[in-house]
Amino acid sequence: MDLTDARILVTGGAGFIGSQLSDRLLADGNEVVVVDDFSNGREEWVPAGAEVLEADLTNRDAVTDAIDADLDLVFHLAARKDPNDDDPRGQFDENTTMTHLLLEACRDAGVEGFAFASSSTVYGEAPRPTPEDFAPLEPISVYGASKLGEEGLVSTYAHSHGLTAWTFRFANVVGPRLRGAVIPDFLEKLRANPESLTILGDGRQEKSYLHVDDCVDAMCHVVDRAGADDVESDGGATYTYNLGTRTTTSVDRIADIVSDVLDLDPDYEYTGGDRGWTGDVPRMRLSIEKLAAIGWTPNLESDDAVRRAAEELADEIDEA
């Protein structure tokens, strides 16, 4: 799908990834509608030139009002994500309800394209590097379970109702505007106490980290290229891609990088165990060979993505 001169709706468009995707889509000459309830996103992050709708996407009427026949594509990034959520049923229901209502509204309005932000958490504790066709998918967190359920809905509407869908399984995305994750957590802890840093788990958890600039570029590349040579497809197709790096970074290494960025040498203290929280996947590395086959690889590998994000966030948090 050509991502120029299109009318595109971005759910969660005031959030960490969504706001930066919206900025890219505008720069490429598209008309962008941002939909957000501002529970996590910030209005000041929405780029100038985007139309803004404040809406609760679990409300059918609000979703129906947001989706119109003039839209060419929906990028669905809005989600409730909290690894320590004390209402897991609510998290699952909210995420799957949003996706179901959006798909229904797209079908009714005749919107032909749907790009969905999923997660590596759908794989659970899988062999590494994990390809897109790995099975069985056995998530170990409610968030991962909700993403797997949402993927099923996206596939159903693609194959049953003629929608063309692109599903992205993200590695850990990092960069400016990131909140509630390991890099900003370490920055805030070290600002409060430069002498000591508490690390969840044993510090040996090891995962791929993708810079948000690469993430946004990869999403646009996939929508533009995946299925472009499929001459038999006239809607009714879904294309699933891992978005990540070929390398990984440990939590201890992240602590070292963040400490170096702040020019500190703290003592590390560990909470213990091989994972940071219930549902945490200690080790994750996605295969990105399918993505490379359509001509895209990241500019920054995992360590470099972490360092750049730490530098950006250190400046951003200082200014907040």
Q: Is residue 143 annotated as part of the catalytic site, yes or no?
A: yes
Is residue 311 within a helix (H) or strand (E), and if so which, with residue range? helix 302-319
Residue written as token pair 């049953």: 160
Report long-range pairs for 86-92 (Cβ below 8 Å, ≥24 apart): 88/142, 91/142, 91/143, 91/146, 92/142, 92/145, 92/146, 92/149
Q: Closest Cα partner for 69 from 9, 23, 19, 5?
A: 9
Helix (H, G, I), strand (E, B) or coil at 42: coil
DSSP assignment string, 104-134: HHHHHHT--EEEEEEEGGGG-S--SSBPTT-
Catalytic residue among 123, 143, 209, 239: 143
Q: Closest Cα partner for 30 from 86, 66, 85, 73?
A: 73
Positions marked active-site: 143
